[in-house]
Structure 1
């Protein structure tokens, strides 16, 4: 196969339920000069069989089957087998808009100092139905402080990256089981002058899930703290200056996630109290999202109180006649 202009790396583990629709979104791309590398990470379902079936129709698709080693190793293997000057990533349950590759290719072509192009993300239900909820992103290039606090790119499915960046700073850290994508972005931002910037249009559709690692709140916090320790090794000043505030923002996020998952309210309030105690700058530098979190938890609390009390008995009134 001749060298394509964009290599797509798609790690897949037991992804048979969603893989056909994901591969279809790749094949619908208006930009056609791509190579797709599906890294089957030790799946025990029909993942590899689905890829080979579609590969028979489209020789641009290749499958690499390996023993299970985690998403970072799978992505790194795909990068190593890729041949194109640009690399895009796609998770096995996400989807792309039909112009995704074309938009990011043009964004990178216009700006030689841009290292990572990403777009806006629309959330899907677990069943793949669009929700209309769009994750916004700043127009300006992302700073290291912004990345430490929040992954504003949302998902690696939203990235198109210059291949040379991996040659300069290395691949994803296989020792991290959570926030490995965020650590890579921080390493890039701290160790190079490459920019990370969004295009102001939806290019990726992200399938939300309330199961698995993302709903295990203590592990999410532990994973973020471990990522921050990795970053401290090459950006100690960043962690000293922004680490506490970034941790507070993570705790606020966990409070809101606990609420969305319908977990006990004391758990959500506990995360929010810890956020404010972790760094009081949260109230000064981010007053609107912090107040929004408080109001969300208050509404949920008051709704719970009302439901416990039930409706007032008929014929009773607290007012005077």
Structure 2
């Protein structure tokens, strides 16, 4: 087979309920000369069986298996097998718009200095499909803008030149959270590649109770590890920009804890953020105040909240 224009790497672990739709979002791409490399990370459900049954009908899909080693190891395995000059990532529970891959390949051909591309992300409920918030558009990322609430949002939103992977290295195995930010910080610190955003809604990130049930403290520790590494990369981060990253990140954790109905944990996270970054309330008053209000309301009985809303 001729070399494809893009390699799509999909790590998969116990995602039998979602992987078929994610694969269909790749096969529905308007760009046709791609390869999809699915790396099963030791699934104990029917993920591998489903992926193989779909691959039998499409020669562009390759399946490999490994013992469970985490998503970063699975992605790195896929990268090692990729043959295209462009590599894009898609988790086995997310979805792409049909035009995404073609537009990304075209954009790379027009901008030789661009090493990484991402788009806007639409968050959708994994059960109802109801649309949620849309991520902000950022035209070009620096190391400073990568910190805090990562505008790329998810590894499913990363597309890069294979050359960039050879230049800055693969994803870190030692991180269970923020591995995408850590890798992007290495790209930014290299100073050799631009990280650019496309102002289009081309990625759909499925969120719900299951995806929100991650250990938030483990997420915190992973992010702190990433921040320590960032200081060593020489990414041009000032002490002020590092300090300002803590507020938005802890607020993000506070909001996730709220969705999980953990008001005490949410309060703890927001308090940590405001202590580390007191200026957050002045810089971003609306979102910070709404988070604090949500925490306060979460301590009230539901009938009291209903009464306040109805007044």
Q: Shared topology, TM-score over 0.5?
A: yes
Aligned to 1:153: 152
For residues 223 and 166 of structure 1, the distance between their equivalents in structure 2, rounded to whole angstroms, comes to 22
CA contact (8 A) 2:143 2:236 kept: no
The aligned runs of 1:1-321 (5 Å cut-off) are: 1-127=1-127, 129-138=129-138, 140-211=139-210, 215-235=214-234, 238=237, 240-264=239-263, 266-300=264-298, 304=300, 307=303
Structure 1 residues 236 and 114: alpha-carbon distance in aligned structure 2, compared to 1, 3 A threshold:
closer
Where in structure 1 are there 5+ consecutive unaligned residues? 312-321
What are the superposed Cα offsets for residues 7-42 of structure 1, whole Å, 9 maximum, x if unpaired?
Answer: 000001112111111111111111101011001111
* Aligned-partner SS, 2:237: helix
RMSD of equivalent CA atoms: 2.2
Larger radius of gyration: 1
CA contact (8 A) 2:5 2:84 kept: yes
CA contact (8 A) 1:86 1:163 kept: yes
Aligned to 1:319: none
CA contact (8 A) 1:122 1:130 kept: no
CA contact (8 A) 1:231 1:239 kept: no
TM-fit CA distance, 1:287? 3.2
Which deviates further from its counterpart, 66-75 or 83-92? Answer: 66-75
TM-fit CA distance, 1:87? 0.4
TM-fit CA distance, 1:126? 2.2
* Aligned-partner SS, 1:3: coil
What are the superposed Cα offsets for residues 39-91 of structure 1, whole Å, 9 maximum, x if unpaired?
Answer: 11111222222122111110000001111111111111111110000001000
Which deviates further from its counterpart, 154-163 or 2-11? Answer: 154-163
* Aligned-partner SS, 2:104: helix
Where in structure 2 are there 5+ consecutive unaligned residues? none
TM-score w.r.t. length of structure 2: 0.92
* Aligned-partner SS, 1:149: coil
TM-fit CA distance, 1:128? 6.0
TM-fit CA distance, 1:299? 4.7
For residues 235 and 86 of structure 2, the distance between their equivalents in structure 1, rounded to whole angstroms, comes to 31
TM-score w.r.t. length of structure 1: 0.89
* Aligned-partner SS, 1:87: strand
